[in-house]
Amino acid sequence: MNRTTRRMGKGILGLFFGAALAVLALPAEGQGGGEALYKTKCAGCHGADGKGQTAVGKANNIRDLGSADVQAQGDDAIAGIISGGKGKMPAYGKSLKADQIKDLVAYIRTLKK
């Protein structure tokens, strides 16, 4: 291998990583902040899929967030539960901004069956 081919090799490697990064970054950007927030703040109790199949979820009979019953509630009602809490559900009105709660409601809508 001479110098030129070695440099070319690095260039191709760079292209490869660049493309891989771009592919990884795309889905995260497309779905907005709601999904990321949900995964860090809510999935611990509600489960990554919103079904509530976690220890806390089962102990509290959390309803499946994608179920017709939950989805029948208006955006304001769901946002109200997130910001004000309900039973064992913590209130997030102080730790999250109104926009973030809106993003979460939008994400919960994507869980609809």
Listed ranges 4-12, 21-29, 89-97: which one lies at the site for ligand HEC (CB under 6 A): 89-97
Which residue's beta carbon is nearest to the bound ligand HEC?
A: 87
Quick check: 104 binds ligand HEC (CB under 6 A)? Answer: yes
Distances (CA, A) of 17 to 3, 4, 5, 23, 42: 21, 20, 18, 10, 32
Q: Is 45 exposed, middle or buried (0-12, 13-18, 19+ CB in 10 A)?
A: middle
**Which of 35/82 has CB closer to ligand HEC?**
82
**Which of 51/89 has CB closer to ligand HEC?**
89
